[in-house]
Structure 1
Amino acid sequence: MSDMPRKAVSRTARLAALPLSFAGRATIGLGKRLGGRPADVVAAELQQQTAEQLFSTLGRLKGGAMKFGQAMSVFESALPEEVAGPYRAALTKLQDSAPAMPVKTVHTVLTEQLGPDWRENFREFEDTPAAAASIGQVHRAVWHDGRAVAVKIQYPGAGDALLSDLSQLARLAKVLGPLIPGMDIKPLIAELRERVSEELDYELEAKAQAAHAEEFAADADIAVPGVVSQTGTVLVTEWMDGTPLSQVIAGGSQAERDRAGQLLSRFLFAGPSRTGLLHADPHPGNFRLLKTDGPVESWRLGVLDFGTVDRLPGGLPAPIGVSLRLALAGDAGAVYRMLRQEGFVRPTITLDPDAVLDYLRPIIEPTRVEEFTFSREWMRSQAARIADPRSPAYELGKQLNLPPSYLLIHRVTLSTIGVLCQLGATVRLHEELTEWLPGFAKG
């Protein structure tokens, strides 16, 4: 058996073992409770053990399982605290870490893609990776013209690994679903599968990054590294230092959190408006806070990894801004008609427009006020309201539909809100919507 099939079998075996382990722990937990141990103590122990195994398994995989873990990590703030505690550290590790390729493999890929004299492209090349992710790893180097660069190298067999892991995870959706209350795991996994071919195409990524780098080249708030070279499965871009958003979340000052949150919100809405592209992988590992000796207001947000984008030539769809403006004005009938027109309410379903507006009001509260402080507590309250079967919002939410054309926009927006809640940032969101979201401002 070759190395690749053997590794694929090993990955599948580790993933397949997860539901059996979960079930086994539940049985053991029941036995402990019957033996007189407090239920809350047993539950906490099980949660800790489950978190450690689940994310240890995901963390060892370079394919779709880790991609899934990264996508889920931004929703950590929606988990109840008693559940979030054990998962938080393991989830955030997935945002910018993965097992490294052997040096020999790295050199082989570079030889295949850049030629036997590949070292002539660089003054220096560090064999130890500076970062690793789901389909590739990044090495720091110095380009032949003296520029510090990031060399992104795709794992051999990354495509097969992604598809294999995601297929296996799709079969485990029922087991993984309870990790995020109110979230349907299956569409997330299906969407990740559909995006595999795009993310593996470094030529597409280079074009998307180059478009952003050109647009934001002179921007005072957003910075995107330029593309230096791209060949096959090797992408070379300018190096970007800075403080990863994961570090700001873990221990940043409130000023750092607020600045990062404001700029993240700005990029979410300004990006599509200015480039026609939506950066669709908004986990904290893809952002840097670029500090200077000047005031916090002069710090910029560095944006990395354009492997997944949504192409929106006209920017974000105007119906989003129009319906949001109408909802803030309390025009339930107009909001309902627009939601039906866009496919959020199926033709075969009739809902009470006032009930729909009541469902939306808490969610859109951050857009109503001049500034809003995002928090884990707020995120949890929204998740609990929508996921609690006893809540009117739960029944109404089940009847709403998410049109395919809005699927990625919805996930990116929700993911960004998740990061804002992890940051605990106070953000002037209304200001960004007025500036960048089509249809939000009258006129």
Structure 2
Amino acid sequence: MSDLPRKAVTRTAKLAALPIGFAGRATWGIGKRIGGRSAEIVGRELQQRTAEQLFKVLGELKGGAMKFGQALSVFESALPEEVAGPYRATLTKLQEAAPPMPTHTVHTVLEERLGEKWRELFEEFEDKPSAAASIGQVHRGVWHDGREVAVKVQYPGAGDALLSDLNQLGRFARLLGPLIPGMDIKPLISELRDRVSEELDYGLEAQAQSAHAEEFADDPDVVVPGVVHQCDQVLVTEWMDGTPLAEVISKGSQDQRDRAGQLLARFLFSGPARTGLLHADPHPGNFRLLPDGEGGWRLGVLDFGTVDRLPGGLPEPIGRSLRMTLDGEAMGVYQLLRAEGFVKESIELEPEAVLDYLLPIIEPAQVESFTFTRAWMRNQAARIADPRSPAHQLGRQLNLPPSYLLIHRVTLSTIGVLCQLGAAVRLRDELEAWVPGFAAEDGGEEEGAGDEDSGVEPAAEA
């Protein structure tokens, strides 16, 4: 396998070929429509062909291209089944693997960062990587004290490649829009680009992972591997086995799907309350399902390279607006959204119309247990993406304040994974337990979190 393509001209050429291919397929589509085929059928064929080319190129390039592909892949539930089906396997492969860098390059990085006698730090070190991601790959080993470890080695030139890819993708973001209905691609690319320096800093990642490992050390539901050693371009953590979430999605039992979904939701909402940090990369490759030793399952969490720092937990207005939406308080919701900057001062909207727009989105919190499905996700995407719908027209007038951007993306991504799982989740339990402002004022002690055997005290007041 080749090393990470670092030369700007090579990477740019590969990415530049994407819009050319898109344009060629658009011309093909026009010809098909002239030939009498319906616009809807032709549109889906175009979408499918575009996606196949996009993910093939992204998987080859790694770097920012692969990072963008991983961010997109969790939204495949929003696509029509006849479009999503043929390349779902490609998306799963993108989440779990990528071409590795040569062994000599790995050894060079380890020698430069750990010293010439780096092998003495390990009882064992496997040259073949066990996993690959957007900016680095993971090797399995045994630390000198006997602990099994995961050794993450950053690709040389990863930073330049990351920025180059995302800048290039940003130039033709508009052409990628039809891939995921209702999703604005350009802000996603901008946000990924803004966080490049954080993702490359393994010191920050080690701090975030250590904070989670310490907080969840005795947790019955969530497992976070501890940090063993960290330096520039190398991060050594405890090894964690388990079933990758992508495998649970493809062939897990319904019990596994439901448990994984419940714990994923619990981790999303409890993490900020307990650590002041939001894990901001919730694609399936970063999660494992582990036996708990008693016939049940725990959720293993990996990769803390991207986090949102929320010292007070999730913003209280999120919980308050969700609660008021459920209670049908149209004017209260509208005033709160305006105060938080979701409705600009120059815009006037009907409070009842805003409530009608929000209610379908928070449907999972209206019931005791909600089954997330691809069909539900597609309906939501279609409702917001259709230019003829009132929801689309109202959505275009709303604004997303910068402080909520990453929270919004993480929430949408998590919902996308829940829909891939087809999981039945008691979402309302997790909101009441962990999101400030959501629990009813008269909630009392009976409004606990999640499973009865959780063993973790709710932190709604965190």
Instruction: Name the TM tier (shorter chain).
Output: over 0.9
Question: What is the deviation of 1:23?
Answer: 1.6
After superposition, where does 1:101-180 map in structure 2 within 5 Å?
101-180=101-180
Instruction: Find the residue that maps to 1:161 and give its secondary structure.
Output: helix
For 1:237-281, what per-residue CA distance to the aligned partner results, in whole angstroms no more than 9, with x for missing partners? 000000010000001110000000000000000000000000000
Equivalent residue number for residue 85 of structure 1: 85
Question: What is the deviation of 1:85?
Answer: 2.3
1:262 maps to amino acid? Q
- 2:380 is aligned, of 379, 382, 405, to 382
Instruction: Find the residue that maps to 1:399 and give its secondary structure.
Output: coil
2:136 maps to amino acid? G
2:232 maps to amino acid? G
For 1:98-135, what per-residue CA distance to the aligned partner results, in whole angstroms no more than 9, with x for missing partners? 11110000000000000000000000000000000000
For 1:80-105, what per-residue CA distance to the aligned partner results, in whole angstroms no more than 9, with x for missing partners? 22322233222222112111110000
Question: What is the deviation of 1:46?
Answer: 4.6
After superposition, where does 1:260-409 map in structure 2 within 5 Å?
260-292=260-292, 294-296=294-296, 299-409=297-407
Contact 2:245 2:284 survives alignment (8 Å): yes
Equivalent residue number for residue 449 of structure 2: none
Question: What is the deviation of 1:42?
Answer: 6.1
Contact 1:51 1:86 survives alignment (8 Å): no
Contact 2:136 2:153 survives alignment (8 Å): yes
Structure 1 Cα separation of the partners of residues 35 and 316 of structure 2: 60
Contact 2:4 2:101 survives alignment (8 Å): no
Contact 2:131 2:138 survives alignment (8 Å): yes
Structure 2 Cα separation of the partners of residues 313 and 381 of structure 1: 35
Identity rate, percent: 77
Equivalent residue number for residue 25 of structure 1: 25
Instruction: Find the residue that maps to 2:101 and give its secondary structure.
Output: coil
| More moved, 75-84 vs 45-54 | 45-54
Contact 2:223 2:299 survives alignment (8 Å): yes
After superposition, the Cα gap between the structure-2 partners of 1:74 and 1:5, relative to the gap in structure 1 and judged at 3 Å, is closer
After superposition, the Cα gap between the structure-2 partners of 1:356 and 1:9, relative to the gap in structure 1 and judged at 3 Å, is same
Instruction: Find the residue that maps to 2:95 and give its secondary structure.
Output: coil
Structure 2 Cα separation of the partners of residues 40 and 281 of structure 1: 33
Contact 2:4 2:61 survives alignment (8 Å): no
Question: What is the deviation of 1:35?
Answer: 5.9
| More moved, 81-90 vs 136-145 | 81-90
Structure 2 Cα separation of the partners of residues 426 and 4 of structure 1: 40
Equivalent residue number for residue 414 of structure 1: 412
State TM-score, norm by structure 2: 0.92
Equivalent residue number for residue 249 of structure 2: 249
Structure 2 Cα separation of the partners of residues 33 and 190 of structure 1: 35
Structure 1 Cα separation of the partners of residues 343 and 35 of structure 2: 50
Contact 2:263 2:298 survives alignment (8 Å): yes
Structure 1 Cα separation of the partners of residues 276 and 9 of structure 2: 41
Question: What is the deviation of 1:63?
Answer: 1.0
After superposition, where does 1:26-41 map in structure 2 within 5 Å?
26-31=26-31
Paired residue total: 439
Contact 2:4 2:155 survives alignment (8 Å): no
Instruction: Find the residue that maps to 1:389 and give its secondary structure.
Output: coil
Question: What is the deviation of 1:19?
Answer: 1.1
Equivalent residue number for residue 455 of structure 2: none
Question: What is the deviation of 1:364?
Answer: 0.7
Equivalent residue number for residue 70 of structure 1: 70
Structure 1 Cα separation of the partners of residues 422 and 234 of structure 2: 37
Structure 1 Cα separation of the partners of residues 211 and 231 of structure 2: 18
Equivalent residue number for residue 226 of structure 2: 226
Instruction: Find the residue that maps to 2:124 and give its secondary structure.
Output: strand
| More moved, 191-200 vs 52-61 | 52-61
Structure 2 Cα separation of the partners of residues 57 and 414 of structure 1: 25
Equivalent residue number for residue 431 of structure 1: 429
After superposition, where does 1:7-26 map in structure 2 within 5 Å?
7-26=7-26
After superposition, the Cα gap between the structure-2 partners of 1:38 and 1:175, relative to the gap in structure 1 and judged at 3 Å, is closer
Structure 2 Cα separation of the partners of residues 50 and 230 of structure 1: 40
1:354 maps to amino acid? E
Contact 1:51 1:90 survives alignment (8 Å): no
Question: What is the deviation of 1:51?
Answer: 2.8
Structure 2 Cα separation of the partners of residues 34 and 399 of structure 1: 35
After superposition, the Cα gap between the structure-2 partners of 1:404 and 1:146, relative to the gap in structure 1 and judged at 3 Å, is same
Structure 2 Cα separation of the partners of residues 48 and 154 of structure 1: 33
Structure 2 Cα separation of the partners of residues 186 and 387 of structure 1: 16
Equivalent residue number for residue 195 of structure 1: 195
Question: What is the deviation of 1:374?
Answer: 0.4
* Structure 1: gaps of 5 or more residues: none
Contact 2:182 2:385 survives alignment (8 Å): yes
Structure 2 Cα separation of the partners of residues 257 and 105 of structure 1: 39
CA-atom RMSD in angstroms: 1.7
1:272 maps to amino acid? P
2:337 maps to amino acid? L
After superposition, the Cα gap between the structure-2 partners of 1:47 and 1:398, relative to the gap in structure 1 and judged at 3 Å, is closer
* Structure 2: gaps of 5 or more residues: 442-462
Instruction: Find the residue that maps to 1:316 and give its secondary structure.
Output: coil
Instruction: Find the residue that maps to 1:101 and give its secondary structure.
Output: coil
State TM-score, norm by structure 1: 0.96
